[in-house]
């Protein structure tokens, strides 16, 4: 079965090479029994790929069940997956089969697998390695023949670093990885999806199909779509129901797009909003630098004034601390966000060399000399720290340390 036939059978819309690659991997891996890990942002349609794998496999006549691991309470997840015996816990009035027992001979899809508790991860690892499991409250092992397909919308290696996911389970699930591209990586498919959704909702609600003018099409394609296909579908349904005019201009469309993310610019995301590593660290850095720029300019202006005044330590004591505290408040959150204390040394070193605070305070503010000497010692091994920073996160984001230095010192601090 070729890729186009699979798209028609499972209702997949799009011609993106990244999407075709994901479908092709699912097609090739389906005849085998190896585990598959599907990763991608929320709303990209990851749930379609386990169905493709199951329907094209020799298990297609067996049962297929999808389990959302994040929706099951931690206290009952073991019972749901592996079953329990009568009286094994309060409320267990009779024995119950778990999903792995019911789906014997079929395929089980574990969505949001990174939300599993560590104790359940140990049980799951045993099932994957030996096909054995034990019901809650039982001492008798049972065999099962189940193919496991897992999915996650977070970057699992980060969860491993935080101690929330077992590394051995990750490598056991990640035998064959499938990456489902986000909608912003499939710009050529955005308008196709909008047209398909508009046609479906027009038929459902018995109304004419909504269309977009040229400016609205450009706005639609260039929007970031943090909610991916799910968000596009919801917005299309809103427009189809609410707007009486069937030709939608850009000024109407923009009302339905969240204003905080209507442009593809660096944005500060909280941990709950981040679904992957694609843009996290780089955009956090740029966001902080954008916010820092005005305060750096203010500091430079104050220093210029003080140089002209031939300022004494008394004047420094009155004027500098208020601005310097602001500067420190901006710097302090950086290591907490990037989890890299060495980065703050590099940034401080660049800032100090840029507007020469250290040398001036050494001469005019002598009793602070020890602190600046300490800072100098910390900045002495800047190239070593830069290499460490590059290994830790710059390399993953394909951003060289030289480019980072030039960005900070030449573009944002001037």
Q: Which residues of 122-133 are buried (b: 16+ CB within 10 A; e: fewer)?
A: ebbbebbeeeeb
CB atoms within 10 A of CB 379: 17
- Token pair recorded at residue 25: 């991997």
CA torsion 400-174-22-59 (nearest 10°) is 180
pLDDT for position 89: 81
CA-wise closest residue to 254 among 242, 265, 246, 262: 262
- Cα(111)–Cα(70) distance, integer angstroms: 8
pLDDT for position 90: 80
- Token pair recorded at residue 75: 């206290």
pLDDT tens sequence for the chain (414 residues): 889 999 999 999 999 999 999 999 999 999 999 999 999 999 999 999 999 999 999 999 999 999 999 899 888 899 999 999 988 888 788 888 999 999 999 999 999 999 999 999 999 999 999 999 999 988 888 999 999 999 999 999 999 999 999 999 999 999 999 999 999 999 999 999 999 999 999 999 999 999 999 999 999 999 999 999 999 999 999 999 999 899 999 999 999 998 654 445 444 444 444 444 445 555 656 655 665 565 556 555 555 554 555 444 444 444 444 444 444 444 444 444 444 444 445 555 555 544 444 454 455 444 444 544 544 444 444 444 444 544 444 444 444 445 555 555 444 443
pLDDT for position 216: 93
What pTM does this model have? 0.62
Q: Up-side HSE of residue 357: CA atoms within 13 Å toward CB? A: 23
- Cα(21)–Cα(179) distance, integer angstroms: 9
- Cα(290)–Cα(78) distance, integer angstroms: 47
Q: Radius of gyration over alpha carbons of the chain, in Å?
A: 28
Cβ(217)–Cβ(177) below 8 Å: no
Cβ(5)–Cβ(183) below 8 Å: no
């Amino acid at each position: 079965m070729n890729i186009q036939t699979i798209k028609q059978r499972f209702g997949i819309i799009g011609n993106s090479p990244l999407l075709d690659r994901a479908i092709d991997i699912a097609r090739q891996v389906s005849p085998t029994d190896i585990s598959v890990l599907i990763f991608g942002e929320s709303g990209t349609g990851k749930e379609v790929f386990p169905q493709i794998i199951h329907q094209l496999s020799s298990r297609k006549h067996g049962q297929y069940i999808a389990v959302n691991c994040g929706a099951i309470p931690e206290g009952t997840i073991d019972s749901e997956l592996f079953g329990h015996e009568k009286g094994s816990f309060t409320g267990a009035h009779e024995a119950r089969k778990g999903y792995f027992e019911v789906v014997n001979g079929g395929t089980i899809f574990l969505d949001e697998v990174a939300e599993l508790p560590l104790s359940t991860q140990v049980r799951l690892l045993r099932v994957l390695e030996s096909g054995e499991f034990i019901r809650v409250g039982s001492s008798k092992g049972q065999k099962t023949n189940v193919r496991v397909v897992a999915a996650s919308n977070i970057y699992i290696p980060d969860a491993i670093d935080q101690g929330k996911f077992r590394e051995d389970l990750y490598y056991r699930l990640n035998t064959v990885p499938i990456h489902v591209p986000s909608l912003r990586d499939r710009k050529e498919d955005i308008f196709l999806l909008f047209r398909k959704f508009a046609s479906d909702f027009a038929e459902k609600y018995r109304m004419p199909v909504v269309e977009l003018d040229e400016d609205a099409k450009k706005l639609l394609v260039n929007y970031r779509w943090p909610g991916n296909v799910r968000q596009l579908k919801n917005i299309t349904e809103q427009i189809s129901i609410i707007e009486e005019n069937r030709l939608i201009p850009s000024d109407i469309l923009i009302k339905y797009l969240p204003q905080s993310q209507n442009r593809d610019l660096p944005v500060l995301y909280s941990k709950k909003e981040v679904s992957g590593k694609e843009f996290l660290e780089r955009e956090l850095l740029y966001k902080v630098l954008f916010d820092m720029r005005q305060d750096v300019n203010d500091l430079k202006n104050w220093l210029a004034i003080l140089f002209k005044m031939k300022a004494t330590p008394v004047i420094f004591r009155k004027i500098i601390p208020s601005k310097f505290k602001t500067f420190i408040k901006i710097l302090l959150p950086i290591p907490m966000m990037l989890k890299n204390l060495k980065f703050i040394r590099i940034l401080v070193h660049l800032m100090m060399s840029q507007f020469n605070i250290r040398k001036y305070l050494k001469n005019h503010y002598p009793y602070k000399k020890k602190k600046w000497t300490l800072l100098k010692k910390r900045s002495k091994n800047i190239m070593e720290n830069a290499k460490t920073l590059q290994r830790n996160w710059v390399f993953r984001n394909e951003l060289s340390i030289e480019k980072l230095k030039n960005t900070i010192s030449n573009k944002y601090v001037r």
